[in-house]
Structure 1
Amino acid sequence: MPANADNPAGFAEAPHYHGHRERLRERFRDAGPDALSDYELLEMVLFRALPRRDVKPLAKSLIGRFGSFAEVVHAPDARLREISGLGESAIIELKLIAATASRVAKGQLKQRTVLSSWAAVIDYCRTSMAFADKEQFRILFLDKRNQLIADELQQVGTVDHTPVYPREVVKRALELSATSIIMVHNHPSGDPTPSRADILMTQNIIEIAKPLGISVHDHIIVGKNGHASLKGLRLI
């Protein structure tokens, strides 16, 4: 092929998507992340893992399959592996984003008095659990100043059930010298409406904990479609 001014001899022409990548980076830098759609933000995450591919079709496919940026990065590894063209390095990049979001939210929560930072509590719980494909039950253990002592994942169950043992919950609170707890679990269905079993289990824990000087501040249920507070709903 003869050389020309645009493609000097000995130099391969840059792939068409290189210009697209640079334009996305410029828009992100100049206008911020809100100027990008979910699939465009996902493209930027995939740039590093897939440097020699046009990742726009893959990003659109992921959003089409899972629904949103948040649902993609929190999707189970097994389901991500079902996507053609998405290798292990790209999956690690996605999981790194999810882990980073959770770590940042947890750091913000640790820096504050929990009950005066309810928005931070909700943000952390939703970031950590709302998109999980199985039910998880975790507890935030607090001291007498309502500072976070520990955040522990107690149980992981099936898609719609997590076994919770009230005496084990209270026992762990005593071991940590916690004076209060906040219970959190997710509904993989996306609907955070508390079930009758959720309410009864919470009441059972309250009855066991109260004589031992441990209060249950709340039981929060999170899902893709929002969150519910049993205390806010006056169910406890």
Structure 2
Amino acid sequence: MPPKDATGTETEKPHYHGHRQRLRERFLAGGAAALADYELLELLLYLAIPQRDVKPLAKDLIQRFGSFAAVMAAEPAHLMEIPGIKENSAVAIKTVQAAALLMQKQQVLDKPILGSWKAVLEYCHSVMAHEQNEQFRLLFLDGKNALIADEVQSRGTVNHAPVYVREVVKRCLMLGASSIVMVHNHPTGDPAPSRDDIEMTHAVQLALDQVGIQVHDHLIIGRKGHASLRSMGYLDAPKKRRS
């Protein structure tokens, strides 16, 4: 039935009601692939802001942050800098992101990580690629190469995150890890390793080698892809120097 005003007189529905219904129908029929990125964001926003047309707001968010994924990864405070985005909307966006990351993490938890490498890369990219500052993360593995812990060890600036070799060794021993995968992001988007990245990798590898813990890889995540220091041959360098 048409909505009524305070006097009981029937009024016309806002123009965006029919648009929302068509979006819902397209989504239910074809899933996310049936919608543009801003339309998917629009569906989410109208659940948090049912009383207004959120199509312009969805477009503003994607224009401001650059992509749907970047909107999901944005800090709540940055989201709320956009006129029209208040706490409810920011919480809705961050809840969707948290749910997506949890689903990806559960795909690799307690499974041999080397046998699900694609899922590991997808998880690392989702959780780190759109970070504004560098972070250094460790994936701790047991003797069967199953993931037993995933921890951010440090957060830094736009181009540096501190890595303390002693703390890496200490945490590995506390968790009883048999091996690790090191991961950090490059907020610039380019995953190519720097000289400092390579030297830090060698320092951690040498220290862990003394206590019988293997470094499977050091992944660098960027918006343009990833780099694997093992694939590039850098993880063999310390052993070659010792021989």
Q: TM above 0.5, one fold?
A: yes
Q: Which residue of 2 aligns with 1:235?
A: 234
Distance 1:11 1:231 in 2: 68
Q: Which residue of 1 aligns with 2:35?
A: 36
* 1:1-236 alignment, distance < 5 Å: 10-236=9-235
The 1:112/1:90 distance shift into structure 2, 3 A limit, reads: same
Question: C-alpha root-mean-square deviation of aligned residues, in Å?
Answer: 1.6
Distance 1:11 1:228 in 2: 61
Cα deviation digits, residues 152-197 of structure 1 (max 9, x gap): 1100111111010111101110111111000111111111111111
Distance 1:235 1:36 in 2: 43
For residue 56 of structure 2, give the secondary structure of its aligned residue in structure 1.
helix
Native 8 Å contact 1:134 1:159 kept in 2: yes
For residue 117 of structure 1, give the secondary structure of its aligned residue in structure 2.
helix
Native 8 Å contact 1:43 1:55 kept in 2: yes
Cα deviation digits, residues 43-92 of structure 1 (max 9, x gap): 01101111001000001111111111000111122321221111111111
Q: Report the identity percentage.
A: 54
Cα deviation digits, residues 21-61 of structure 1 (max 9, x gap): 01001001101111111100000110111100100000111
In the TM superposition, residue 124 of structure 1 has moved relative to its aligned partner by 1.0
Q: Which amino acid aligns with 2:228?
A: S
For residue 161 of structure 2, give the secondary structure of its aligned residue in structure 1.
coil
For residue 183 of structure 2, give the secondary structure of its aligned residue in structure 1.
strand
Aligned residues: 232
Distance 2:97 2:198 in 1: 30
Cα deviation digits, residues 84-115 of structure 1 (max 9, x gap): 11111111111111111111111111142101
Segment of structure 1 superposing worse, 195-204 or 72-81:
72-81
Q: Tell me, which stretches of 5 or more residues in structure 1 are unaligned? A: none
TM-score norm. by structure 1 comes to 0.94
Q: Which amino acid aligns with 2:12?
A: E
Q: 4+ residue runs of structure 1 moved beyond 4 angstroms?
A: 5-9
Distance 1:56 1:87 in 2: 16
Q: Which amino acid aligns with 2:212?
A: G
Native 8 Å contact 1:76 1:133 kept in 2: no
TM-score norm. by structure 2 comes to 0.92
For residue 45 of structure 2, give the secondary structure of its aligned residue in structure 1.
helix
Q: Which amino acid aligns with 1:11?
A: E
